[in-house]
Structure 1
Amino acid sequence: MPRKKQVTLRDLAKLLGLSAHTVSKALRGLPGMSEETRSSVLRTAASHGYRTKDQERSLVVERIPIIPHIPRRFKLIVPGSQLNSRMPQLLLEGLQSKLGEYGHSVDAVVLPAAVSNRPLFDAWIEKHHIPYSDGIFISPIIGENCEQMLLELPLSRVLLNFPPPAAEADSVVWDVGTAIYQSVRHLTAQGHKRILYIGGIQEYRGFRLRWSSFVQAMREAGLETQPEEHMTGEYRSKELWMAKAKEFMEGRRPTAVVVAIGDRALWIREVCEALGKRIPDDISLISLEHELNASWPELSRPVLLIRECGIRAAERMLWRVANPNVPFEHIMLQGGFYKGNTVFPQK
């Protein structure tokens, strides 16, 4: 017997102040509305537990129970270094919104940097009851040694990151490689050639992918580049980061900057102001921000689908729990590009 919907299509339309026809089109992925409207419809439908018939059929095909017999509890493992970042918060929001639809829950657990060997790791997982959870989500920016120990746990696992070679886990991640391509192509289309890259290139897999994508995109534009020409080091304090950025800006005299690290756009704006440079009149700027920056909404940026990654990862986890013996899958979510107003054509 089909599950009776608690909320109808007309209920959603009334809540949103839209026609039922528009709501239906949004849920079916049809054109004819802004992305803001479509996102609003999807969020409202998800928060009220509304599913289309096609969505319910897909759950049956993937053997994910719509109404669980047993509520499950999951853990999101977050590195201590990211406590002040919006990235893990967005992931957790996405996970909670989707798992909550099915009556499940997820809690964030902080992995301290001091947990660096097996005895400390074993004590930490016991303290937080991780072996007794139904599965774990592994956040980015976790050291490779700890990540490997997490991947070895006899639990269902979903990496919210690019997987290491032969990783025995599913993965879901936002596509930063394409985001860098979009950024470089937008700048070169505006005539920019002296483009400064700011971001680490060694410490994490996602960072290495960003840099390799930048090099390839520049090469396709006929522009060769070397690491020493860009700000590619790891700088732990804001003061040191800004001092290095000022040094590179003065030395390289770029016409455009790509900041490949989240939450750094406002820092680079401070550096430009200190140098007497205006954005975008003197220097064009693109930044890989984790989300829309309320204090700078017109910042040009690729759209990183971090919260959506959490939603998709929750679906993948429930699929894995229901299908423990099928091959692992690796998923990348590609966002669009918001042109904003911080890129001007090169004079």
Structure 2
Amino acid sequence: MPRRKSVTLQTLASELGLSIHTVSRALRGMPGMSEETRHEVLSAARRLGYRTKDQEHSLAVEHIPLFPNRKRRFKLMFTGNSVYSRLNQILLEGLQDKLAEYGHTIDMLMIPSSFDKGESFDSWADQNSLMYSDGIFIPPMTDPIKEELLLKLPLPRILFNFPPPAAEVDSVIWDVGTAVRLSVRHLIANGHRSILYIGNIHNQRGFRLRWQSFVDSMREAGLDANPELHITKAISEKEAWIASVQDSLVSLRATAILNGVHNNLAWIYHACSTLGKRIPEDYSLISLQHERDEFLPQLSRPSLAIRETGVRGAERMLWRLANPNLPYEHIMLQGTFFEGDTVKPLKA
């Protein structure tokens, strides 16, 4: 692998089989190429250690050394079954790639759902040498009680979530509010005014924000969004949930569906098919997905910057270590919208 000092635009262009002009435009965020090409360029730049002059200047301003003398160790915390979540795996990929550029490492650490008899969170943290790490990352879906304990630790912390009120922590999260607004606007632009929202609005702060963004977007278009007419609870009994979806589609006279939680997608298709309806012929569909679905590559969806959140979280951790006394910051990463083919214009 080329040394960092020897990596040039020509190196990246040759590696990818692209022109220097295309590589340069991708690195500067200029339009005129597919998202796949841009992603390939940025991934290669990270892998080979290439940085633009602006990036190096930004690191210098934030006091983050390009080649640190000390190799740091971080922890990504998990609770329950969240360790198996594809979302957290994508976050971890972003974290590992960015931290590896500086020679740092990150390990996963599982917090048990319950401690052994007589054991406390503090004693568990001591046994796992948690306080000897250089910082911790707290992912979404962390149990609220465990999250509160982690936020009280005297360690640099990055929260991958919308922060609780008055939380003393830096946070980085993908902007689901804008993702929902882009989705509603796309459906309305295609003539759909009766839109069924499907997605649990409880348990997670991000879930509640998705619903509120849906309500606000509908109201801005002069439309109502009564929660009693939408599917806002988690799937418990699948048959009852499917029947509720079918009843809501009929009672709303819906022409479109906005799915706010990714793991509902297969059940939505099942509910429509058993009703004798098809997507997109009978119902247009937009779904918030963690990543591109290989079985539905043309699914209309907002792009959620989950991996990029991991990368930005690593950068924010290094910034916090270099600037321990500056105010906390809350960062939201906005994605684009992929139109796909599951939304069709509504015929008059």
Would you call these one fold, judging by a TM-score over 0.5? yes
- Describe the shift of the 1:150–1:281 C-alpha distance in structure 2 as closer, same or farther (beyond 3 A): same
Equivalent residue, structure 2, for 1:340: 340
Of 219-228 and 33-42, the range deviating more from structure 2:
33-42
Query: Is contact 2:82-2:142 (8 Å) kept?
Result: no
1:81 and 1:113 in contact (8 A); partners too: no
Q: In structure 2, give the amino acid aligned to 1:99.
A: L
1:152 counterpart residue number: 152
User: Which residue is equivalent to 1:165?
Assistant: 165
Aligned twin of 1:65: 65
Deviations along 1:89-142, whole A, 9 cap, x unmatched? 110000001000000011222334446999543344334332221111111112
Distance 1:68 1:296, change over 3 A: same
Unaligned runs of 5+ in 2: none
Question: Where do 1:196-211 residues align within 5 Å?
Answer: 196-211=196-211
8 Å CA contact 1:93–1:310 kept in 2: the answer is yes
Counterpart secondary structure, 2:57:
helix
Equivalents in 1 of 2:203, 2:117: separation in Å?
Answer: 19
Q: Provide the C-alpha distance between the structure 2 equivalents of 1:4 and 1:333, rounded to a whole number of angstroms.
A: 28
Deviations 1:125-174 (A, max 9, x none): 33433222111111111232221111000100011011111111111000
User: By how many angstroms is 1:245 displaced?
Assistant: 3.0
- Listed as ranges, the matches of 1:238-277 within 5 Å are 241-277=241-277
Change (3 A) 1:113 1:284: farther
Once residues 177 and 116 of structure 1 are traced to their aligned partners in structure 2, the CA distance between those partners, rounded to angstroms, is 40
Assess if the C-alpha contact under 8 Å between 2:197 and 2:260 holds in 1: yes
Q: Distance in 1 between matches of 2:237 and 2:23?
A: 47
Q: Within 5 Å, which residues of 2 pair with 1:321-336?
A: 321-336=321-336
- Change over 3 Å in CA distance of 1:119–1:241 after alignment to 2: farther
CA contact (8 A) 1:301 1:337 kept: yes
CA–CA distance in 2 between the matches of 1:209 and 1:292? Answer: 22
Secondary structure in 1 aligned to 2:109? Answer: strand
Q: TM-score, normalised by structure 1?
A: 0.93
Could you give the per-residue CA deviations for residues 249-268 of structure 1, whole angstroms, max 9, x where no partner exists? 35444211111012332221
User: Unaligned regions of 5+ residues in structure 1, if any?
Assistant: none
Alignment correspondent of 2:140: 140
Amino acid at match of 1:307: R
Structure 1 window deviating more from structure 2 (210-219 vs 77-86): it is 77-86
Could you say which residue in structure 2 is the equivalent of 1:304? 304
Aligned partner of 1:317 in structure 2 is: 317
Q: TM-score, normalised by structure 2?
A: 0.93
SS of 2:31's partner is: coil
The aligned length equals 345
CA contact (8 A) 2:4 2:50 kept: no
- Aligned pairs for 1:77-96 within 5 A: 77-96=77-96
Q: Write the deviation string for residues 160-217 of structure 1: whole angstroms up to 9, x where unpaired.
A: 0111111111110000001111111111111212211111223221111111111100
SS in 1 for 2:262: coil
**Residue of structure 2 in register with 1:194 after alignment:** 194
Distance 2:285 2:135 in 1: 40
**2:294 matches 1:294:** yes
How much has 1:59 moved relative to structure 2?
0.7
- Structure 2 distance, partners of 1:228, 1:275, is 21
Q: CA deviation at 1:29?
A: 2.4
Q: RMSD of aligned C-alpha atoms?
A: 2.2
Identify the residue that residue 107 of structure 1 maps to in structure 2: 107
CA distance in 2, matches of 1:111, 1:343: 42
Q: Retained in 2: the 8 A contact 1:157–1:317?
A: yes
CA–CA separation in structure 1 for the residues paired with 2:313 and 2:13: 28
